[in-house]
Structure 1
Amino acid sequence: MTPIYRSAEGARAVRERYDALLASWPVAAEDRTLATRLGDTFAVVSGPVDGPPVVALQGSGGTAAHWLPDIATLAGRLRVHAVDAPGEPGRTVEARPPLGSAAYAEWLDDVLDALELPRAAFLGTSLGGWWALDHALRRPARVTALALVNPAGIGRRRVVPLLKFAAYGLFGDWGRRRSLAMVAKGGLADPGRRAVGEFTLATFEHFKPRLEAIPTVSAERLRELRMPVQAHFGARDVLLDQRDAAAKLRAALPHADVRLAEDAGHFLPGWAEAAAEFLAGQGSR
């Protein structure tokens, strides 16, 4: 298994900062370690025991701590299982099967089984949105609803910003901060989001991100989705062409709730209340 950190010291530094963030989780929560065929998977479970179950998947370079600014809103109505994805920073196994394979759908099957959930709604952001989409297409009977926040894999991927990020990476901490500012587009004004953004910044000092291209979900495949879908996009996302993604999803799923925030970037604020209401309304269908 290829290491996902540049050094053992860096891995420890990320883990220590992650543990500190988890200690500030604002609602009652239970830490779970779930056995899967890829290896142990870490999850933070919050919300009413009888609430509609939701599996929350963060993006590349993220952890369950990504949900800190919004978990109080989500867990007010939902039983949220915030899962560290494999091959990402956090407490889950470092395995990275090919994104186009069935391995992640099988992993999520195991996650649901370990949580004793025959079916659940999925909430995904960025790469986590792609994992949620992939699972919904491969296992539609196990997905009650989809809430997507700036998901990858629908719209076109922007190449120029990635080149800029590579160049900024040559300038140490200043370069990382400049990259974060480009991605955030003002989305870190809230102290909680700023703390998560700072953690992400520190993580990428030590973490080796995935270089594999994220598969694009075609319009034909999107039309196969039968569960209720809500999607939030930021028009100023520098990583993904989310205007294109929103238009593509609206055309493929006319009955989906698709929202495009004109002034928002990849770190998209203001979606949690609408997503919680949407997911709570689906119940355990």
Structure 2
Amino acid sequence: MAKIGRFSSDEAREAYLRSYEAMEGLWPLPAETADVTTSFGTTHVRRSGAGDGLPLVLLHGVLGNGLHWHSVVEGLAQGRPVLALDTVGGPGRSVQTAPMAREADFGTWFAEVLDGLGLERVHVLGESAGAWHATLVGLYAAERVASVSLIEPNGVVARTPWRALLRLVRFGGDRTEEGWRAMSEWLTPGLTMTEVELANVRAGQSFRLAVRWARPLKDAELASFTPPLLAIYGGASVVSDPPAAQRRIAVLLPGAEVVVVPGAGHGVRAQAPARVVDRVVRFLVRHDEVPRGG
């Protein structure tokens, strides 16, 4: 039965919103916010930047929200608006009121968000679980998408290794700060969250998620993917299989671009921000078009 995402209690929601407000202080650019009504609830959107480039929509990972792009938004907003969404069904300021029962519902939700913002076509960038959501947008709302960029799309093109899945389950059962830091060190060795970021993610653990986990695309799905595609992997990622993904994309979607950053893990965006941002920006420019709305 499809579910609706929600906090475990009103107190948990209030605690999360306090941590969210603290996160807002990390956002480096002037921003406008809006709450867009869709068939699945309201979606919170943070918009920064300006320019003639087609807008870029950002989709965050699990337990994250749009504010988690704060460290790279300046680089991404080079000559274009950037819109960071709080995905419906996850923690954030969005409020889900109806379940997403089918994968295609992500395309419907995304199109309705664009309609509410007065936008016709955009670029999409997703990270981790957000990469899966961006993939669904590319499959089911392709007419609204000029390009799709994926950062560490684990489980989307190649299966997540079983050992990694088992370890994630074990980490998920440990909600202590020590457990979270251990998982973070395993996923993104050498990187440390700020206290503000850590507090926000830990507060998000009180949210009962209602978004589906990624699954490997079928051959026909990958081969039929029509938007221009860029996939960025960390070469040392413990939850992805970059060589397998690169081989499969080369066979089924030869026009797509794949970048593997040596030595980086699942947190490749934070480990190599300049390289990732530069690669994404150049990809966006190549696939820009004159905006036809908003």
TM over 0.5, shorter chain: yes
Question: For residue 281 of structure 2, what is the aligned residue in structure 1?
Answer: 276
Q: Distance in 2 between matches of 1:165 and 1:95?
A: 29
Question: For residue 156 of structure 1, what is the aligned residue in structure 2?
Answer: 159
Question: For residue 233 of structure 1, what is the aligned residue in structure 2?
Answer: 233
Q: Distance in 2 between matches of 1:73 and 1:97?
A: 34
Question: For residue 12 of structure 1, what is the aligned residue in structure 2?
Answer: 14
SS in 1 for 2:40: coil
8 Å CA contact 2:46, 2:84 repeated in 1: yes
Q: TM-score normalized by structure 2? A: 0.86
Q: Distance in 2 between matches of 1:12 and 1:251?
A: 49
CA RMSD of the aligned region, Å? 2.4
Gaps of 5+ in 1: none
Question: For residue 69 of structure 1, what is the aligned residue in structure 2?
Answer: 71
Question: For residue 136 of structure 1, what is the aligned residue in structure 2?
Answer: 138
**Displacement after TM superposition at 1:31 (Å):** 0.8
What code does the residue aligned with 2:184 have?
Answer: L
Gaps of 5+ in 2: none
8 Å CA contact 2:219, 2:252 repeated in 1: yes
Question: For residue 39 of structure 1, what is the aligned residue in structure 2?
Answer: 41
Q: Which residue of 167, 170, 174 maps to 1:167?
A: 170
Question: For residue 24 of structure 1, what is the aligned residue in structure 2?
Answer: 26
**Residue by residue, what CA displacement relative to the aligned partner does 1:49-95 show, whole Å, maximum 9, x if unpaired?**
53321111111111001211100000123211111101111101235
8 Å CA contact 2:23, 2:200 repeated in 1: no
In structure 2, relative to structure 1, the CA distance for the partners of 1:196 and 1:100 (3 Å cut) is farther
Q: Distance in 1 between matches of 2:121 and 2:133?
A: 16
**Displacement after TM superposition at 1:268 (Å):** 1.2
Q: TM-score normalized by structure 1? A: 0.88
2:112 matches 1:107: no
Q: Distance in 2 between matches of 1:18 and 1:155?
A: 33
**Displacement after TM superposition at 1:105 (Å):** 0.8
**Displacement after TM superposition at 1:114 (Å):** 0.9
In structure 2, relative to structure 1, the CA distance for the partners of 1:133 and 1:3 (3 Å cut) is closer
**Displacement after TM superposition at 1:23 (Å):** 2.7
SS in 1 for 2:56: strand
In structure 2, relative to structure 1, the CA distance for the partners of 1:184 and 1:96 (3 Å cut) is farther
**Residue by residue, what CA displacement relative to the aligned partner does 1:91-119 show, whole Å, maximum 9, x if unpaired?**
01235735743211110010111111111
**Displacement after TM superposition at 1:265 (Å):** 1.2
**Displacement after TM superposition at 1:171 (Å):** 6.5
In structure 2, relative to structure 1, the CA distance for the partners of 1:172 and 1:240 (3 Å cut) is same
SS in 2 for 1:40: strand
The count of aligned residue pairs is: 281
Q: Distance in 2 between matches of 1:23 and 1:244?
A: 40
Q: Distance in 2 between matches of 1:242 and 1:255?
A: 17
In structure 2, relative to structure 1, the CA distance for the partners of 1:248 and 1:95 (3 Å cut) is farther
SS in 1 for 2:38: coil
In structure 2, relative to structure 1, the CA distance for the partners of 1:220 and 1:199 (3 Å cut) is farther
Q: Distance in 2 between matches of 1:159 and 1:207?
A: 25
Q: Distance in 2 between matches of 1:208 and 1:115?
A: 28
Stretches of 4+ moved more than 6 A in 1? none
8 Å CA contact 1:177, 1:201 repeated in 2: no
SS in 2 for 1:151: coil
Q: Distance in 2 between matches of 1:35 and 1:209?
A: 20
8 Å CA contact 1:100, 1:215 repeated in 2: no
